Amino acid sequence: MKLVRYGRRGGERPGLIDADGVLRDLAAHVPDIDPATLAPKALAALRRVDARTLPAVPGRPRLGVPVAGVGKIVAAGLNYRAHAAAGHTLPDEPILFLKAPSSLCGARDAVRLPPGATRGDWEVELALVIGRRASRVTPEHALAHVAGYCIANDVSERGLQFERGPTWDKGKSCDTFCPLGPWLVTRDEIPDPQALDLQLTLDGATMQASNTADMLFTCAELIACASRYMTLHPGDVLLTGTPPGSGFLRSPPRHLRHGETMRLGIAGLGVQCSRVAVSPA
């Protein structure tokens, strides 16, 4: 299933995208796409719903964050071999950091760089959404805790990230710095999360193009590692790292500019498209 939340910010309704690409309203069956809806039994019940009986949604409404009630966003740094090899020592275990849930926005919402930002950057990433509580799980059982997958853009302001102290959070957690979606694709539709092509273009020029097979630590290993240090709850989001091509590692460095458009795609997960706006100082 492709689950969505659509409508104005703060007033989103639950929906799904049917086999013909039509947006259907799910409000008669669930109040929202939230942690309770992501439970295995709840998803199984939704799969039994005949999408053709659901009301079609007219027009092209805004698509919000596909999951409500995200408790935390756990992100992995330097998790693609080619990206980590560009001037870094390969880590022995995953590098984990947190992005604030307030950084979330919809897949078509504008990305707004904060006042004074000069080093805005992009990172296409596969996102995992947790559906079952995970604490100290093994890699062998880790993917059973995933409700589904979606596209994320780990937007960064590198000046805030690298020049304002040793932690990355300042440059990673600004409002709109985590576009998610357009929809959540349930785990049953993605048989192998380590075999997905992903790419990002900026105003039509390809900046990133790779495959999740290049991850240093697999999705299962990332879940297992994170769950050793913190309990992952339904609705939590785990970002799995980005391939090479980020702006700050280019020669010369390339930073986001007002009015540019980022287009991100991952095989089977759709496309997100965000326009960049730089807030005045």
Angstrom distances, CA of residue 29 to CA of 53, 54, 69, 181: 12, 10, 18, 21
Read off the pTM: 0.96
Domains plus CATH for the chain?
68-278 (3.90.850.10)
133 contacts: CB under 8 Å, gap ≥ 6: 145, 231, 232, 233, 234
Q: Tell me: the pLDDT tens digits for 222-265?
A: 999 999 999 999 999 999 999 999 999 899 999 999 999 999 99
Check whether the bond before 252 is cis (ω within 30° of 0). Answer: yes
Q: Tell me: the pLDDT tens digits for 180-228?
A: 999 999 999 999 999 999 999 999 999 999 999 999 999 999 999 999 9
Distance CA 242, CA 225 (A): 18
- Structural Rg of the chain based on CA atoms: 18
Higher per-residue pLDDT: 169 or 142: 142
87 pLDDT more than 70: no
